[in-house]
Amino acid sequence: MGMDFGKVTRRRFLLRAMLPAIAAGAAAGSPRLSGALAAVRSVSVLASTGPGPIPVTLNVNGTAHALRIEPRVTLLDALRERLALTGTKKGCDQGTCGACTVLVDGRRVNACLTLAVMAQGKAVTTIEGLANGEQLHPVQAAFLAHDGFQCGYCTPGQILSAVALIAEKRPTDEASVREWMSGNICRCGAYPNIVAAVRDAAGARS
C-alpha cells in the first residue's frame, strides 16, 4: 500500500565512486576486497517518486484517506482542498501565524510547512476531530465560555495549540500561557480572553 520507498536501485556512479578504493584494495592484494564489493552493493541511490501525483494515505481524525497528490502538496492544502476539512485555516502559509496548527501524533505542528507525503503513517488531529459528537472538547467549551475570539479565523489553531499546551503540562500562569501560545497570532487581539480560556481549560487557579 502506498509507495514502496524501501526499495533501492543501484546506479553506475556509485560503482565509479567506489572503484578507486576497490582498485587500491586489489592492487595491495587486500583480503578486504570482497568487503568493499559488499559495500558497493549496500550503498545505493534511493528510488524516488513524483513530481506528478503519487499515492498518499493520510490518517485524519481516525479515518484513513487514500489520495493521489504531488509530493509538493502541504498537509494544510491536502486537508482543505482534498479532504474538505476547512476548519484548519490558511493564514500566512509560511509558519508565522499558527492558524494552520494541527496535532501530528499528538504534537502541535504547522500544517503549512508539513508535506502531506511526510505525514503518512502518523495520526493527524484537526479541529474537526476534537469534539465527541455534539459534546465539545473542554478547550472548545472554554473558548466559548470566555469569548476567546472575534473573527474566529485563528481560533481552530489557537484551540489545537491550547490542547497541546495542556498535554505538554506547561505552566499555566498568565505569562507562561502567553509565551507557550506565542506561535498563534490573533489579528483581532482577543488575547486576554484566549489566555483566560486556556487557563480555565488547563485548570489554572486565577
Partner 1 sequence: MNAFRYAQAHDVASAMATVAADPGARYVAGGTNVIDLMKEYVEQPSLLVDITHLPLRAIDASARGVRVGALAAMSDVADHAAVARDFPAVAQALLLSASPQLRNMATIGGNVMQRTRCAYFRDVSQACNKRAPGSGCAAIAGVNRQHAVVGGSEHCICTHPSDLAVALLAVDAVVHVRGRAGERTIPFERFHVLPGATPQRETVLEHGDLITAVELPPSAHARSSYYLKVRDRASYEFALVSVAAALDVTGGTVRAARVALGGVAPKPWRSHDAEAALTGRPATAATFAAAAQAATRGMRGYGQNDFKIALTQRAVARALAHAGGAA
CA 11, 13, 19: angle at the middle one, nearest 5? 115
Which of 174, 178, 191, 204 binds partner 1 (CB under 8 A)? It is 178
Q: At 55, list the grid cell.
A: 499515492
Kindly state whether residue 50 participates in binding partner 1, applying the rule CB under 8 A.
Answer: yes
Residues near 43 by beta carbon (within 8 Å), at least 6 away in sequence: 14, 18
Choose among 99, 126, 111: nearest CA to 185. Answer: 99
CA 129, 130, 132: angle at the middle one, nearest 5? 95
**Identity of the residue, 32 or 107, whose beta carbon is nearer to partner 1 in the bound complex:** 107
Q: C-alpha dihedral over 147, 150, 156, 160, to 10 degrees?
A: -50
What distance in Å separates the CA atoms of residue 125 and residue 118, rounded to the nearest whole number?
Answer: 15
Shortest approach of partner 1 to residue 133 CB, angstroms? 28
> H-helix or E-strand containing 194?
helix 191-201
Kindly state whether residue 110 participates in binding partner 1, applying the rule CB under 8 A.
Answer: yes
What distance in Å separates the CA atoms of residue 3 and residue 6, rounded to the nearest whole number?
Answer: 9
Kindly state whether residue 115 participates in binding partner 1, applying the rule CB under 8 A.
Answer: yes
Which of 25, 55, 67, 95 binds partner 1 (CB under 8 A)? It is 95
Which of 161, 163, 186, 194 binds partner 1 (CB under 8 A)? It is 161
Which of 19, 47, 66, 131 binds partner 1 (CB under 8 A)? It is 47
Q: Which residue has the cell 499558527?
A: 98
Which of 118, 131, 144, 151 binds partner 1 (CB under 8 A)? It is 118
Q: How many residues bind partner 1 (CB under 8 A)?
A: 48
Which of 68, 107, 189, 192 binds partner 1 (CB under 8 A)? It is 107
Which of 58, 69, 74, 200 binds partner 1 (CB under 8 A)? It is 74
Shortest approach of partner 1 to residue 110 CB, angstroms? 5
Phi, psi of 117 (to 5 degrees): -60, -25
Residues near partner 1 (CB under 8 A) are 3, 5-6, 8, 11, 13-14, 17, 42-52, 54, 70-72, 74, 93-95, 98, 101, 107-110, 113-115, 117-118, 161, 164-165, 168, 178-180, 182-184
